[in-house]
Copies of this chain bind each other. A is one copy, B any other.
């Protein structure tokens, strides 16, 4: 029989609620308590009705709870590293939304706390758990296409976020392209050596005023010789454009967009694919958000290495930082090398 993992959820905003709904439907987990500093009485009632048995404003109630085995951190980014450290010291396994932190020093502290406590940490790079991206990875890692030479990832949001969001986001490379830095590492199975990055501001002049890009582009070189060519764009009017392709010495594998349905309409104008590609990342990666938690449950129950651990979380941030530097310097920038 499966052992149930008793969970505390930290942060019950949009993403926290989404994880909570998945968790409540999964047999591997039992939710013990949720914590959110912005909890109102009304909100608490909703959460109880949803099935979260207890709520608190104080995260310490979770860290000190004797019946909680693991935590799911969905709070704001500036709390991630601190919560990881507190959870680790309390001996609890950790699932943490990306990124661990914007500051490399704090990421390292968090990783060290995890390592000392021998708890499991998984970072929320859900793209790795998408069925389509996973099928591409499987083909690539099987070796049937020979050595991987070029990886290309196109990631586009349907519409830019608010300027408030842009202002505190850390910039397009740290905030948005970080998923693809992680994906490129996953696909190449190698570490990034250096990166050239730049961007365009045609998408929205206000973004430019914030010193950020509407469309970010990066060329990343990996230790094994592979090149990754990445694009993250804030505005693609047709939906959440998510495509990957990889060229190997023996062939190519592509991973196209997903459509709401398979129908095509032909009329006196042309042929349509009337179904849309999903509009939001929540829709596009709905299944992946579930599968990453199943992977976390598996790692916890088997006391196995997490499929996306602290090292992975660190590397993605290091590449993003090199990309941000490159976009300023106009030069190819080396990715910082850190030993833990």
Residues of A with Cβ closer than 8 Å to B?
A: 25, 131-132, 134-136, 139, 144-145, 147, 149-150, 152, 154, 156, 196, 198-203, 214-215, 217, 219, 221, 224-227, 229, 231, 233, 235-239, 241, 247, 249-268, 270-277, 330-332
Are B266 and A275 closer than 8 Å at their CB atoms? no
For A276, what are the chain B residues with a Cβ–Cβ distance below 8 Å? 270
Given contacts A150-B233, A229-B231, A236-B247, 14 further A-B contacts (CB under 8 A): A131-B261, A135-B274, A139-B265, A145-B265, A145-B267, A215-B247, A217-B229, A238-B251, A238-B252, A238-B267, A253-B264, A270-B273, A271-B272, A330-B331
Are A135 and B252 closer than 8 Å at their CB atoms? no
Would you give the shortest CB distance from A330 to chain B, in whole angstroms?
4
| Known A237-B250, A264-B254; contact A139-B274, beta-carbon cutoff 8 A | yes
| Known A132-B261, A257-B262, A275-B270; contact A202-B226, beta-carbon cutoff 8 A | yes
Of B231, B256, B263, the residue contacting A264 (CB under 8 A) is B256
Q: Which residue of B lies closest to A275 (CB)?
A: B135
Are A273 and B271 closer than 8 Å at their CB atoms? yes
Would you give the shortest CB distance from A107 to chain B, in whole angstroms?
27
Are B215 and A198 closer than 8 Å at their CB atoms? no
Bound state CA distance, A145 and B199, in angstroms? Answer: 20
For A200, what are the chain B residues with a Cβ–Cβ distance below 8 Å? 149-150, 221, 225-227
Are B275 and A272 closer than 8 Å at their CB atoms? no
Q: Which residue of B lies closest to A156 (CB)?
A: B247
Bound state CA distance, A268 and B134, in angstroms? Answer: 22
Are B267 and A250 closer than 8 Å at their CB atoms? yes
For A267, what are the chain B residues with a Cβ–Cβ distance below 8 Å? 144-145, 237-238, 250-252
Would you give the shortest CB distance from A244 to chain B, in whole angstroms?
9
7 pairs of residues in contact across A and B, judged by CB atoms under 8 Å: A139-B274, A149-B202, A196-B198, A215-B247, A251-B265, A254-B263, A266-B277
| Known A219-B196, A251-B268; contact A135-B238, beta-carbon cutoff 8 A | no
Bound state CA distance, A311 and B14, in angstroms? Answer: 45
Q: Which residue of B lies closest to A252 (CB)?
A: B266
| Known A201-B225, A273-B271; contact A139-B263, beta-carbon cutoff 8 A | yes
Name, among A144, A256, A270, A277, the residue most crowded by chain B CB atoms within 10 Å (CB to CB): A270
Bound state CA distance, A274 and B200, in angstroms? Answer: 28
For A147, what are the chain B residues with a Cβ–Cβ distance below 8 Å? 202
